[in-house]
Structure 1
């Protein structure tokens, strides 16, 4: 796996089961990333398309991301690139929380501008935290429905 500089880590406490969190994670990723296909095309991402059924298995794709490592119920690592950046997003499922850790590089002058727009503006932080909250809510709802 390519070494990329650390960007940040965000976490959400979750009272849901690991199975529910994993299921919610793959669902929210599929829903969120597939909905952003227009943005992936604009940035010329690799990969460009999603696997028809995304379950978080190595080699499966979402627009802008490929699963490079997965241990269901414990860890999911996505990696990708586009014209301004190479990046990795890893989700860790601990006993009582879900963490999202980001690594990326932004080469060249356009990459520096992109980093300022995405990371420096706080946009990445807001989107990552929102995604974690969505995953947690879906996982808790799934656990309640299953009870």
Structure 2
């Protein structure tokens, strides 16, 4: 499924006081640290993700995989798009880096997803409805900003 066709969930953003190249490197490091470990792989197996292990080129590039995600767009310093699917959802997470003034970068994380059927609706309620997804996204963006400090 094409990313644009997936229903919009939310967008989170932060401004980081460094250039886009530094934010890009921190983004890649944070994603590897957050998803590529054994916890991410266990969760990916539990929900039946298509991609269950880290694989492909490193640093992350088109075709790379993390547990739960496959990189579909990697435009260094500009955009990183991840897509995934499992028993309860088809989803995408797109990071965009925008100029926010001299030596500053705005990092945006847009989430999209479809949750078909009764099990999908329950999963959406647990992941999105409880606020857990929003908390996780804010933590991830905070982690990226701290890596740039």
What is aligned with 1:48?
A: 52
Q: Deviations over 1:62-116 (max 9, x none)?
A: 0010001111000000000011000000000111310000000000000000000
1:110 is aligned, of 104, 107, 119, to 119
Over aligned residue pairs, what C-alpha RMSD do you find? Answer: 1.2
Q: Is the 8 A contact 2:56 2:63 kept in 1?
A: no
Unaligned runs of 5+ residues in structure 1 are 141-147
Measured in 1, the distance between the counterparts of 2:56 and 2:82 equals 17
Alignment of 1:1-147 (within 5 A): 2=2, 3-35=5-37, 36-51=40-55, 54-95=58-99, 96-140=105-149
Bigger mean CA offset, 15-24 vs 124-133: 15-24
How far 1:56 sits from its partner (Å)? 2.3
Tell me if the contact between 2:47 and 2:86 (Cα under 8 Å) persists in the aligned partners.
yes
The Cα offsets for residues 21-63 of structure 1, whole Å up to 9 and x where unpaired, read as: 1111011101100122111111110111112653221000000
For 1:101-143, what per-residue CA distance to the aligned partner results, in whole angstroms no more than 9, with x for missing partners?
0000000000000000000000000000100000011022xxx
Q: Please list every run of 5 or more consecutive structure 2 residues that lacks an aligned counterpart in the other structure.
A: 100-104
Q: Normalising to structure 1: TM-score of the pair?
A: 0.91
Equivalent residues, number: 140
| Regions of 4+ moved over 6 Å | none
